[in-house]
Amino acid sequence: MDTESDYRRSVFARPAIACLLLCAALAAGAAEPASGKADAIVRDAMRTHRIPGVCLGVVASGVLIKSSCYGYANVELKVPVSPASLFQSGSVAKQFTATAVMMLVQEGKVQLDDPIVKYLPEARGTAWENVTVRQLLTHTAGIPDIFGESEDDSYNKGILDFRRDYTEDELLRRYLTLTLDFKPGDRWNYSNTGYELLGFLIHRVSGMFYGDFLRERIFLPLGMSATRIISEADIVPGRVNGYRIVDGKLKNQEWIAPSLNTTADGGLYVNIIDLAKWDAALYTEKLLPQAVLEQMWTPVRMNSGKSYPYGFGWELGEVDGHPMQFHTGSNQGFLISISRFARDRLTIVVLTNLDDAHSVARGIAEPVAKAYFHSATAD
Protein backbone atom coordinates (compact mmCIF):
# COMPACT_ATOMS: atom_id res chain seq x y z
CA MET A 1 0.00 0.00 0.00
CA ASP A 2 2.07 2.90 -1.20
CA THR A 3 1.04 6.28 -2.49
CA GLU A 4 4.51 7.84 -2.28
CA SER A 5 5.49 7.66 -5.94
CA ASP A 6 7.60 10.85 -5.87
CA TYR A 7 10.37 9.05 -3.97
CA ARG A 8 10.83 6.57 -6.79
CA ARG A 9 11.90 9.41 -9.07
CA SER A 10 13.81 11.59 -6.61
CA VAL A 11 17.35 10.18 -6.82
CA PHE A 12 20.13 11.72 -8.90
CA ALA A 13 23.52 10.54 -10.09
CA ARG A 14 26.81 12.07 -8.94
CA PRO A 15 30.35 10.66 -8.59
CA ALA A 16 30.54 7.62 -6.30
CA ILE A 17 32.56 7.33 -3.10
CA ALA A 18 34.31 4.05 -2.46
CA CYS A 19 32.69 1.72 0.05
CA LEU A 20 35.94 1.11 1.94
CA LEU A 21 36.45 4.82 2.53
CA LEU A 22 32.97 5.24 3.97
CA CYS A 23 33.16 2.14 6.18
CA ALA A 24 36.57 3.11 7.53
CA ALA A 25 35.44 6.64 8.27
CA LEU A 26 32.33 5.47 10.09
CA ALA A 27 34.42 3.08 12.15
CA ALA A 28 36.82 5.92 13.00
CA GLY A 29 34.01 8.05 14.43
CA ALA A 30 33.01 10.18 11.45
CA ALA A 31 29.42 9.25 12.22
CA GLU A 32 29.37 11.67 15.18
CA PRO A 33 29.01 14.94 13.22
CA ALA A 34 26.63 13.19 10.82
CA SER A 35 24.47 12.13 13.76
CA GLY A 36 24.04 15.72 14.86
CA LYS A 37 23.19 16.77 11.31
CA ALA A 38 20.66 13.94 11.13
CA ASP A 39 18.96 15.17 14.30
CA ALA A 40 18.64 18.65 12.80
CA ILE A 41 17.31 17.25 9.51
CA VAL A 42 14.62 15.26 11.30
CA ARG A 43 13.53 18.13 13.54
CA ASP A 44 13.35 20.50 10.57
CA ALA A 45 11.22 18.01 8.62
CA MET A 46 8.94 17.53 11.62
CA ARG A 47 8.35 21.28 11.84
CA THR A 48 7.87 21.71 8.10
CA HIS A 49 5.50 18.78 7.64
CA ARG A 50 3.96 18.74 11.13
CA ILE A 51 4.97 15.11 11.72
CA PRO A 52 3.90 13.91 15.19
CA GLY A 53 6.61 11.26 15.58
CA VAL A 54 9.73 9.97 13.83
CA CYS A 55 12.16 7.11 14.44
CA LEU A 56 15.46 7.22 12.57
CA GLY A 57 17.76 4.24 12.27
CA VAL A 58 21.24 4.34 10.75
CA VAL A 59 22.77 0.91 10.16
CA ALA A 60 26.44 0.45 9.26
CA SER A 61 27.61 -3.03 8.22
CA GLY A 62 24.51 -4.52 9.82
CA VAL A 63 24.98 -2.70 13.15
CA LEU A 64 22.45 -0.12 14.35
CA ILE A 65 24.76 2.83 15.08
CA LYS A 66 21.99 5.39 15.51
CA SER A 67 18.48 4.76 16.80
CA SER A 68 16.94 8.13 17.55
CA CYS A 69 13.26 8.86 18.03
CA TYR A 70 11.49 12.19 18.22
CA GLY A 71 7.99 13.32 19.08
CA TYR A 72 4.90 11.27 19.87
CA ALA A 73 3.56 7.82 19.11
CA ASN A 74 0.20 8.99 20.45
CA VAL A 75 -0.55 12.69 20.38
CA GLU A 76 -3.64 12.51 22.58
CA LEU A 77 -1.87 10.66 25.39
CA LYS A 78 1.53 12.31 24.83
CA VAL A 79 3.26 8.92 24.52
CA PRO A 80 6.77 9.38 23.08
CA VAL A 81 8.09 7.19 20.27
CA SER A 82 11.01 4.87 21.02
CA PRO A 83 13.17 2.45 19.02
CA ALA A 84 10.72 -0.32 20.00
CA SER A 85 7.70 1.61 18.66
CA LEU A 86 5.78 -0.27 15.95
CA PHE A 87 4.78 1.59 12.81
CA GLN A 88 2.62 0.28 9.96
CA SER A 89 4.85 -0.86 7.13
CA GLY A 90 2.85 0.05 4.06
CA SER A 91 4.66 -1.18 0.96
CA VAL A 92 7.99 -1.77 2.71
CA ALA A 93 6.33 -5.15 3.42
CA LYS A 94 6.63 -6.05 -0.27
CA GLN A 95 10.30 -6.99 0.13
CA PHE A 96 9.30 -9.61 2.71
CA THR A 97 6.56 -10.98 0.43
CA ALA A 98 9.04 -11.17 -2.45
CA THR A 99 11.56 -12.96 -0.23
CA ALA A 100 8.92 -15.52 0.76
CA VAL A 101 8.14 -16.17 -2.90
CA MET A 102 11.82 -16.63 -3.69
CA MET A 103 12.14 -19.11 -0.84
CA LEU A 104 9.41 -21.17 -2.49
CA VAL A 105 11.23 -20.81 -5.82
CA GLN A 106 14.43 -22.11 -4.21
CA GLU A 107 12.49 -25.10 -2.89
CA GLY A 108 11.17 -25.89 -6.37
CA LYS A 109 7.56 -25.22 -5.36
CA VAL A 110 7.16 -22.14 -7.57
CA GLN A 111 8.66 -21.18 -10.92
CA LEU A 112 9.09 -17.48 -11.73
CA ASP A 113 7.86 -17.81 -15.30
CA ASP A 114 4.89 -20.00 -14.51
CA PRO A 115 1.50 -18.43 -15.30
CA ILE A 116 -0.38 -17.67 -12.10
CA VAL A 117 -3.25 -19.96 -13.15
CA LYS A 118 -0.99 -22.83 -12.06
CA TYR A 119 -1.41 -21.61 -8.47
CA LEU A 120 -4.63 -19.60 -8.73
CA PRO A 121 -6.78 -21.66 -11.13
CA GLU A 122 -9.67 -19.21 -10.76
CA ALA A 123 -7.77 -16.99 -13.22
CA ARG A 124 -8.21 -19.52 -16.02
CA GLY A 125 -10.21 -18.09 -18.91
CA THR A 126 -9.69 -14.49 -17.78
CA ALA A 127 -7.46 -11.76 -19.18
CA TRP A 128 -5.02 -12.62 -16.39
CA GLU A 129 -4.41 -16.17 -17.63
CA ASN A 130 -0.93 -15.52 -19.02
CA VAL A 131 0.33 -13.29 -16.20
CA THR A 132 3.45 -14.81 -14.61
CA VAL A 133 4.78 -14.86 -11.07
CA ARG A 134 7.76 -12.80 -12.21
CA GLN A 135 5.47 -10.12 -13.61
CA LEU A 136 3.57 -9.89 -10.32
CA LEU A 137 6.86 -9.43 -8.45
CA THR A 138 8.04 -6.67 -10.80
CA HIS A 139 4.74 -4.77 -11.33
CA THR A 140 4.77 -5.54 -15.05
CA ALA A 141 1.65 -7.74 -15.14
CA GLY A 142 -0.71 -4.96 -16.21
CA ILE A 143 -2.99 -5.64 -13.24
CA PRO A 144 -4.64 -2.40 -12.09
CA ASP A 145 -3.80 -1.08 -8.65
CA ILE A 146 -6.92 -1.36 -6.52
CA PHE A 147 -5.63 1.49 -4.35
CA GLY A 148 -5.72 3.96 -7.20
CA GLU A 149 -2.13 4.46 -8.35
CA SER A 150 -3.05 3.71 -11.94
CA GLU A 151 -3.19 6.47 -14.52
CA ASP A 152 -6.93 5.86 -14.59
CA ASP A 153 -8.36 4.87 -11.22
CA SER A 154 -12.00 4.87 -12.33
CA TYR A 155 -11.90 1.05 -12.29
CA ASN A 156 -11.55 1.20 -8.51
CA LYS A 157 -15.13 2.36 -8.03
CA GLY A 158 -17.30 -0.34 -6.58
CA ILE A 159 -14.66 -3.09 -6.58
CA LEU A 160 -14.05 -2.93 -2.84
CA ASP A 161 -15.86 -1.44 0.11
CA PHE A 162 -12.97 -0.45 2.36
CA ARG A 163 -15.25 -0.59 5.40
CA ARG A 164 -15.99 -4.27 4.85
CA ASP A 165 -14.00 -7.41 5.61
CA TYR A 166 -13.22 -9.89 2.84
CA THR A 167 -11.76 -13.38 2.69
CA GLU A 168 -8.87 -14.10 0.32
CA ASP A 169 -11.21 -15.96 -2.02
CA GLU A 170 -13.64 -13.05 -2.08
CA LEU A 171 -10.86 -10.59 -2.87
CA LEU A 172 -9.54 -12.83 -5.65
CA ARG A 173 -12.97 -13.13 -7.28
CA ARG A 174 -13.40 -9.37 -7.26
CA TYR A 175 -9.92 -8.67 -8.61
CA LEU A 176 -10.41 -11.10 -11.48
CA THR A 177 -13.17 -8.84 -12.81
CA LEU A 178 -10.62 -6.10 -13.49
CA THR A 179 -9.39 -5.48 -17.02
CA LEU A 180 -5.63 -5.43 -17.54
CA ASP A 181 -4.12 -1.98 -18.13
CA PHE A 182 -1.71 -3.38 -20.73
CA LYS A 183 -0.35 -6.62 -22.13
CA PRO A 184 1.71 -8.40 -19.45
CA GLY A 185 5.36 -7.42 -19.73
CA ASP A 186 4.79 -4.36 -21.92
CA ARG A 187 5.10 -1.70 -19.21
CA TRP A 188 5.76 -1.04 -15.54
CA ASN A 189 2.88 0.14 -13.38
CA TYR A 190 2.84 -0.13 -9.59
CA SER A 191 0.21 -2.61 -8.41
CA ASN A 192 -0.63 -3.40 -4.81
CA THR A 193 -3.21 -5.81 -6.23
CA GLY A 194 -0.45 -7.93 -7.73
CA TYR A 195 1.30 -8.28 -4.38
CA GLU A 196 -1.96 -9.27 -2.71
CA LEU A 197 -2.13 -12.08 -5.28
CA LEU A 198 1.38 -13.15 -4.30
CA GLY A 199 0.15 -13.49 -0.72
CA PHE A 200 -2.67 -15.71 -1.91
CA LEU A 201 -0.15 -17.74 -3.93
CA ILE A 202 2.09 -18.22 -0.85
CA HIS A 203 -0.96 -19.46 1.07
CA ARG A 204 -1.99 -21.91 -1.66
CA VAL A 205 1.53 -23.31 -2.18
CA SER A 206 2.75 -23.49 1.42
CA GLY A 207 -0.55 -24.17 3.13
CA MET A 208 0.20 -21.25 5.48
CA PHE A 209 -1.33 -17.77 5.61
CA TYR A 210 1.41 -15.56 4.21
CA GLY A 211 1.81 -13.73 7.54
CA ASP A 212 2.41 -17.03 9.32
CA PHE A 213 4.90 -18.00 6.62
CA LEU A 214 6.81 -14.74 7.17
CA ARG A 215 6.84 -15.27 10.93
CA GLU A 216 8.06 -18.87 10.75
CA ARG A 217 10.53 -18.53 7.89
CA ILE A 218 11.84 -14.96 8.23
CA PHE A 219 10.98 -13.09 11.42
CA LEU A 220 11.68 -15.81 14.01
CA PRO A 221 14.94 -17.04 12.41
CA LEU A 222 16.26 -13.47 12.28
CA GLY A 223 15.16 -12.59 15.80
CA MET A 224 12.68 -10.00 14.53
CA SER A 225 10.54 -10.56 17.59
CA ALA A 226 8.34 -7.47 17.27
CA THR A 227 7.49 -7.55 13.55
CA ARG A 228 4.05 -8.99 12.90
CA ILE A 229 0.83 -8.77 10.92
CA ILE A 230 -1.38 -5.79 11.71
CA SER A 231 -4.24 -6.59 14.10
CA GLU A 232 -7.01 -4.31 15.29
CA ALA A 233 -8.01 -6.78 18.00
CA ASP A 234 -4.72 -7.85 19.58
CA ILE A 235 -2.95 -5.98 22.36
CA VAL A 236 0.22 -4.83 20.58
CA PRO A 237 2.86 -3.29 22.87
CA GLY A 238 4.41 -0.19 21.32
CA ARG A 239 1.74 0.27 18.64
CA VAL A 240 1.98 3.77 17.13
CA ASN A 241 -1.04 5.85 16.08
CA GLY A 242 -1.16 7.11 12.51
CA TYR A 243 -2.14 10.66 11.56
CA ARG A 244 -3.07 12.77 8.56
CA ILE A 245 -3.66 16.46 7.97
CA VAL A 246 -7.12 17.40 6.76
CA ASP A 247 -7.99 21.05 6.02
CA GLY A 248 -4.90 22.11 7.94
CA LYS A 249 -5.77 20.10 11.06
CA LEU A 250 -4.14 16.97 12.45
CA LYS A 251 -6.56 14.04 12.37
CA ASN A 252 -6.38 10.39 13.35
CA GLN A 253 -5.75 7.80 10.65
CA GLU A 254 -8.69 6.83 8.46
CA TRP A 255 -10.31 3.53 9.45
CA ILE A 256 -10.49 0.62 7.03
CA ALA A 257 -11.77 -2.92 7.56
CA PRO A 258 -9.25 -5.04 9.53
CA SER A 259 -8.92 -7.79 6.90
CA LEU A 260 -7.71 -5.25 4.35
CA ASN A 261 -4.77 -4.51 6.64
CA THR A 262 -3.52 -8.10 6.54
CA THR A 263 -2.73 -8.50 2.84
CA ALA A 264 0.74 -9.13 1.39
CA ASP A 265 1.12 -5.71 -0.18
CA GLY A 266 1.66 -3.96 3.14
CA GLY A 267 0.13 -5.50 6.26
CA LEU A 268 2.92 -5.41 8.86
CA TYR A 269 4.00 -3.63 12.03
CA VAL A 270 7.76 -2.90 12.05
CA ASN A 271 10.30 -1.01 14.14
CA ILE A 272 13.86 0.20 13.56
CA ILE A 273 15.35 -2.53 15.77
CA ASP A 274 13.90 -5.33 13.65
CA LEU A 275 14.58 -3.58 10.35
CA ALA A 276 18.24 -3.34 11.33
CA LYS A 277 18.24 -7.12 11.86
CA TRP A 278 16.62 -7.54 8.45
CA ASP A 279 19.25 -5.32 6.84
CA ALA A 280 22.07 -7.28 8.47
CA ALA A 281 20.63 -10.58 7.21
CA LEU A 282 20.67 -9.31 3.63
CA TYR A 283 24.48 -9.30 3.70
CA THR A 284 24.40 -13.02 4.50
CA GLU A 285 22.79 -16.17 3.11
CA LYS A 286 20.61 -16.87 6.14
CA LEU A 287 17.46 -16.61 4.02
CA LEU A 288 18.53 -16.83 0.38
CA PRO A 289 21.76 -17.28 -1.59
CA GLN A 290 23.41 -13.99 -2.51
CA ALA A 291 22.91 -14.78 -6.20
CA VAL A 292 19.15 -14.86 -5.61
CA LEU A 293 19.24 -11.61 -3.64
CA GLU A 294 21.14 -10.00 -6.50
CA GLN A 295 18.42 -11.20 -8.84
CA MET A 296 15.87 -9.44 -6.63
CA TRP A 297 17.91 -6.22 -6.95
CA THR A 298 18.17 -6.34 -10.76
CA PRO A 299 16.06 -3.94 -12.87
CA VAL A 300 13.16 -5.65 -14.59
CA ARG A 301 13.40 -6.08 -18.36
CA MET A 302 10.18 -5.63 -20.31
CA ASN A 303 9.01 -7.11 -23.60
CA SER A 304 10.63 -4.26 -25.54
CA GLY A 305 14.01 -4.96 -24.00
CA LYS A 306 13.92 -1.74 -21.99
CA SER A 307 14.48 -1.94 -18.26
CA TYR A 308 12.84 -0.22 -15.31
CA PRO A 309 14.55 0.38 -11.92
CA TYR A 310 12.49 -2.10 -9.91
CA GLY A 311 13.41 -5.64 -8.93
CA PHE A 312 11.42 -8.05 -6.75
CA GLY A 313 9.90 -5.90 -4.00
CA TRP A 314 12.76 -3.39 -4.17
CA GLU A 315 13.14 -0.12 -6.03
CA LEU A 316 16.55 0.78 -7.42
CA GLY A 317 18.25 4.14 -7.69
CA GLU A 318 21.16 6.16 -6.37
CA VAL A 319 21.92 9.19 -4.22
CA ASP A 320 25.01 11.26 -5.02
CA GLY A 321 26.31 8.38 -7.11
CA HIS A 322 25.77 5.76 -4.39
CA PRO A 323 23.66 2.83 -5.70
CA MET A 324 20.60 2.26 -3.57
CA GLN A 325 18.03 -0.46 -2.98
CA PHE A 326 15.01 1.11 -1.34
CA HIS A 327 11.30 1.19 -0.80
CA THR A 328 8.77 3.45 0.81
CA GLY A 329 5.49 2.49 2.42
CA SER A 330 2.44 4.59 3.18
CA ASN A 331 -0.90 3.62 4.62
CA GLN A 332 -3.39 4.89 7.18
CA GLY A 333 -1.41 7.82 8.47
CA PHE A 334 2.09 6.33 8.16
CA LEU A 335 4.98 6.90 5.77
CA ILE A 336 8.21 4.95 6.20
CA SER A 337 11.25 4.07 4.14
CA ILE A 338 14.28 1.81 4.05
CA SER A 339 17.23 2.91 1.90
CA ARG A 340 20.12 0.44 1.55
CA PHE A 341 23.46 1.57 0.15
CA ALA A 342 24.81 -1.96 0.09
CA ARG A 343 28.17 -1.16 -1.51
CA ASP A 344 28.74 1.36 1.29
CA ARG A 345 27.20 -0.99 3.87
CA LEU A 346 25.05 1.88 5.06
CA THR A 347 21.27 1.81 5.51
CA ILE A 348 18.88 4.59 6.51
CA VAL A 349 15.51 3.65 8.03
CA VAL A 350 12.89 6.34 8.60
CA LEU A 351 9.57 5.65 10.31
CA THR A 352 6.94 8.41 10.60
CA ASN A 353 3.32 8.50 11.70
CA LEU A 354 2.13 11.06 9.18
CA ASP A 355 1.24 10.12 5.61
CA ASP A 356 2.94 13.05 3.85
CA ALA A 357 4.35 12.39 0.41
CA HIS A 358 7.55 14.39 0.85
CA SER A 359 8.37 14.13 4.54
CA VAL A 360 10.36 10.89 4.35
CA ALA A 361 11.87 11.03 0.88
CA ARG A 362 13.10 14.55 0.38
CA GLY A 363 12.77 15.70 3.95
CA ILE A 364 14.70 13.03 5.87
CA ALA A 365 16.06 9.86 4.21
CA GLU A 366 18.14 11.34 1.41
CA PRO A 367 19.53 14.31 3.38
CA VAL A 368 20.55 11.98 6.22
CA ALA A 369 22.31 9.63 3.80
CA LYS A 370 24.16 12.58 2.26
CA ALA A 371 25.22 13.75 5.73
CA TYR A 372 26.85 10.39 6.42
CA PHE A 373 28.51 10.28 3.00
CA HIS A 374 29.85 13.81 3.49
CA SER A 375 31.13 13.08 7.00
CA ALA A 376 32.95 10.02 5.73
CA THR A 377 34.76 11.91 2.97
CA ALA A 378 35.49 14.92 5.18
CA ASP A 379 37.05 12.83 7.93
Region of residue 112 (phi > 0: left; psi between -120 and 50: alpha; otherwise: beta): alpha
Task: Give the strand pairing for 249-252 and 307-308.
Answer: unpaired
Whole-angstrom Cα Rg for the chain: 20
Q: Return d(Cα 173, Cα 166) in angstroms, integer.
A: 11
Residue from 369, 354, 278 nearest 58 by CA: 369
Q: Return d(Cα 218, Cα 222) in angstroms, integer.
A: 6
C-beta separation of 164 from 109 below 8 A: no
DSSP letter at 166 equals -
Give the relative orientation of helices 94-106 and 192-206 as an angle to the nearest 10 degrees: 40
Q: Return d(Cα 337, Cα 350) in angstroms, integer.
A: 5
The reply to whether 91 belongs to the active site is yes
Collect all residues with Cβ–Cβ distance below 8 Å to 270 and sequence separation of at least 6. Answer: 86, 87, 89, 92, 93, 226, 227, 336, 351
Q: How many Cβ atoms are within 10 Å of 225's Cβ, its own excluded?
A: 11
Catalytic residue (one of 91, 150, 191, 206): 91
Q: How many Cβ atoms are within 10 Å of 61's Cβ, its own excluded?
A: 15
What is the secondary structure of 209-255 as a DSSP string?
Answer: -HHHHHIIIIITTTT--S-EE--SSS--TTBPPPEEEETTEEEEPPP
Residue 70 pairs in a beta bridge with 54
C-beta separation of 136 from 189 below 8 A: no
Query: Burial, 126: exposed, middle or buried (Cβ in 10 Å; 0-12, 13-18, 19+)?
Result: middle
Among all residues, which ones are annotated catalytic?
91
